[in-house]
Amino acid sequence: MPCRQPRGCRLPACRIPGVPPPARPGACVPCETEFVLFGSAKRQMIEADDALPGRPAYSYRVPETHEVLGTPLQGPWPEGTQVLYVAMGCFWGAERIFWQLPGVVTTAAGYMGGFTPHPTYEEVCTGRTGHTEAVLVAFDPTAISAELLMATFWENHDPTQGNRQGNDVGTQYRSAVYWTTADQEAAARGTREAFQGVLREHGHGDISTELRPASEAGTFYYAEAYHQQYLHKNPGGYCNHGPNGMSCPIGIVRQDQLPAQKDVLPPH
């Protein structure tokens, strides 16, 4: 089966028989043959009973230190540090957006919101783990607000695309926010309402972003070492993120002004 992706394969070694490795390993998006192999199941959220079994521990070593910030990737972090998890398509570009923000202590690429314990990247790519590619954002709330983090999130991807982000298609690329504090929840819901209005003004559809407490979304599993701070180590690597041209109003919605809402589950 020939590889149909002109930019090569995003895996460190192609798993498709007969396909030569890419010229620059890890430089590009998953090839189209992956969609042929796994079919339309990647576009629908898998049921827990059908998820891959996974394993009891990581099958790879997680780095200790952030390549750019020099801070612990897995903690411990300074007292008062908060953690917010966001998903907005490929985690390479998403992570870079957040590590550049003043007040961010560390960031990490990983998998969250699924069923398979300690999944590998290859497993997540099948759509059979239920995870989305997520970014852990550890930040100092006295230096940067959750509201500003959320505005950055909305303004740098298309949150209306469901189980895809641009050319990256599948449940593992769905947009999501998983909060760990009440203030983060208020910021997520408030900015969502504000940005939905902006989207409608520009003729766009409804936001499909999954909104849930991190406690419900489940464990954040750190991705393999080569994914961590990928675009720092590979400046010319694949990235489909950038400003979407719309500004998210912040500082205009208080928690007591928000309408009653239920958590928004993953799109099907």
Q: What is the 3-state secondary structure (H, E, C) of 233-255?
A: HCCCCCCCCCCCCCCCCCCCCCH
Q: What is the pLDDT of residues 152-209, one digit of tens each?
A: 999 999 999 999 988 889 999 999 999 999 999 999 999 999 999 989 988 889 999 9
Residue 28 pLDDT class (50, 70, 90 cuts): very low
Asked if residues 135 and 94 have their Cβ atoms less than 8 Å apart, the reply is yes
Q: What's the number of domains the chain is made of? A: 1
Q: Is residue 267 part of a domain?
A: no
Looking at residue 192, its pLDDT comes to 96
Q: What is the pTM of this model?
A: 0.79
Range of the domain at 77: 47-257
Q: Is residue 3 part of a domain?
A: no
Q: Is residue 21 part of a domain?
A: no
With CA atoms as reference, report the closest residue to 173 among 207, 136, 210.
210
DSSP H or E run through 104: strand 104-112
Return d(Cα 92, Cα 237) in angstroms, integer: 9
Q: Which amino acid is at 132?
A: T
The CATH number assigned to the domain holding 169 equals: 3.30.1060.10
- For 221, the token pair is 């599993």
Asked if residues 244 and 155 have their Cβ atoms less than 8 Å apart, the reply is yes
Return d(Cα 9, Cα 255) in angstroms, integer: 44
Would you name the residues annotated as active-site residues? 90
Q: Is residue 8 part of a domain?
A: no
Q: What is the 3-state secondary structure (H, E, C) of 3-48?
A: CCCCCCCCCCCCCCCCCCCCCCCCCCCCCHHHHHHHHHHHHCCCCH
